Amino acid sequence: MHVRSIVGLLTALVCVPLFAHAADDAITRRDAFLFLWQGIMRPAMPVREAAFTDIPEGDSDELVFTYAKARGLLDDDDSAFHPQNPVQKGDSFVWLLRTRNVADAEDITRKTLPSFLEHYALAESGATMNVTLTRSELEDAARTLDTFLEREEHDVSLYAEQFHGDGTAFGETFDMYAMTAAHRTLPYNTLVEVTNVANGENVIVRINDRGPYVDGRDMDLSLGAFTSIAERSKGHITATFRRLGDATLAPACGGNPGFQKRITRDVHLDRGVQHTLKLGDTITLSSQRFFVVRSVLYPDGSIERLERWFGPDEDPFTLKPSIPGIYTLRIGTASGRIREFQTRVFGCTGNS
């Protein structure tokens, strides 16, 4: 190791106590929402509405909070967000359910929360929601809900000639041969892996329409998508859904996945963490400034605590995921700033 690197590393270790940001510390409102947001790989788009007064212009995540407020994922009845306050369990669960689009955002509130928590087995009946939440508790809740949603079975139908050439709810022209689908709440352009429970066949579709409007049905597949996993004559099937993320961030099994590079405004990762990763590929991270990889949270819930520093002119940090799912890397700087980066690893199996 170069002398300059050793000096820089020792300085970094002095500046940042290794116990900072422990996994069981109470998590702030800011960090809680950003963690939940990163788990869905949805882009934040510019909007005209005003941001929260305590999320300053130029903040690295201003766009996320402004967009989330405009889309109803964050309540807008208060001009301030109080980002550094510890998050309460009730607020974090509302945000979790809204970001996962289990219902319309306006229908998920602190008042309606108990019924959702019971359905998704997130908390015992009567559990208090006015207590603070730790980082590990939030990670457990997100993992519990995401696992439930991927295993939940749905009644799925198809639509075809009657609508071919018509406009979709999002202004596209419906093509019954394209790999698309209609869903009532998932955001436009979301990629979803749909698996036929009866035969295990799967297809990746892009949400470009709203529907179906039949009680008990949860998705309409285009003719092309439906017949790739089932015979048309069946009319409807039982299927599971696995949300992959927005098509611009999570191109299925190919294309440019996009990279997350910035830890702070002044510290950037070279190349960065991919939004999505094909099983067998490697994450490789380096930087022109010192950074520390504090931990890696694996899809099965296990945590590897590393506390490993990396500097210029040194070997990069590498991670080669061995199982599909979401990996969360907690990466920090010498100034003490910690940021979480998530990548979804998938195996590109079946018809995908």
In this predicted model, what pLDDT tens digit does every residue of 295-336 receive, in sequence order?
999 988 899 999 999 999 899 999 999 988 889 999 999 999
Cβ partners under 8 Å of residue 84, min gap 6: 28, 29, 30
Cβ partners under 8 Å of residue 166, min gap 6: 173, 174
Residue 39 lies in a domain: yes
Q: Same domain, yes or no, for 102 and 162?
A: no
Residue 312 lies in a domain: yes
CB atoms within 10 A of CB 3: 7
- C-alpha to C-alpha distance for 25 and 135, rounded to whole angstroms: 6
Q: Same domain, yes or no, for 309 and 337?
A: yes
Q: Residue 16 pLDDT more than 70?
A: no
Q: Same domain, yes or no, for 215 and 256?
A: no
Q: Same domain, yes or no, for 126 and 36?
A: yes
Lowest mean pLDDT among 39-48, 99-108, 199-208, 248-257: 248-257
3-state per-residue secondary structure call for 112-143: CHHHHHHHCCCCCCCCCCCCECEHHHHHHHHH
Binned at pLDDT 50, 70 and 90, residue 251 comes out as low
Q: Encoding tokens for residue 103?
A: 């219902």
Residue 351 pLDDT: 41
Binned at pLDDT 50, 70 and 90, residue 3 comes out as very low
**CATH number for 178:** 2.40.40.10
- C-alpha to C-alpha distance for 69 and 295, rounded to whole angstroms: 30
Residue 30 lies in a domain: yes
**How many structural domains comprise the chain?**
3
Residue 8 pLDDT: 46
Residue 75 lies in a domain: yes
Residue 77 pLDDT: 73
Binned at pLDDT 50, 70 and 90, residue 264 comes out as confident
Q: For residues 123 and 137, is the Cβ–Cβ distance under 8 A?
A: no
* Domain termination residue (choose one: 246, 274, 304): 246
Q: Same domain, yes or no, for 238 and 262?
A: no
Residue 215 lies in a domain: yes
Residue 6 pLDDT: 39
- C-alpha to C-alpha distance for 244 and 249, rounded to whole angstroms: 9
Residue 298 lies in a domain: yes
Q: Same domain, yes or no, for 203 and 263?
A: no
* Domain termination residue (choose one: 229, 246, 263): 246
In this predicted model, what pLDDT tens digit does every residue of 128-174 receive, in sequence order?
999 999 999 999 999 999 999 999 999 999 999 999 999 999 999 99
Residue 165 lies in a domain: yes
Q: Same domain, yes or no, for 39 and 113?
A: yes
Q: Which of 231, 198, 203, 233 is nearest to 219 (CA)?
A: 203
Residue 148 lies in a domain: no
Q: Which domain holds residue 187?
A: 153-246
Q: Which of 42, 39, 33, 51 is nearest to 88 (CA)?
A: 33
* Domain termination residue (choose one: 225, 246, 267): 246
**CATH number for 272:** 2.60.40
Q: How far is C-alpha 330 from the chain's CA centre?
A: 15
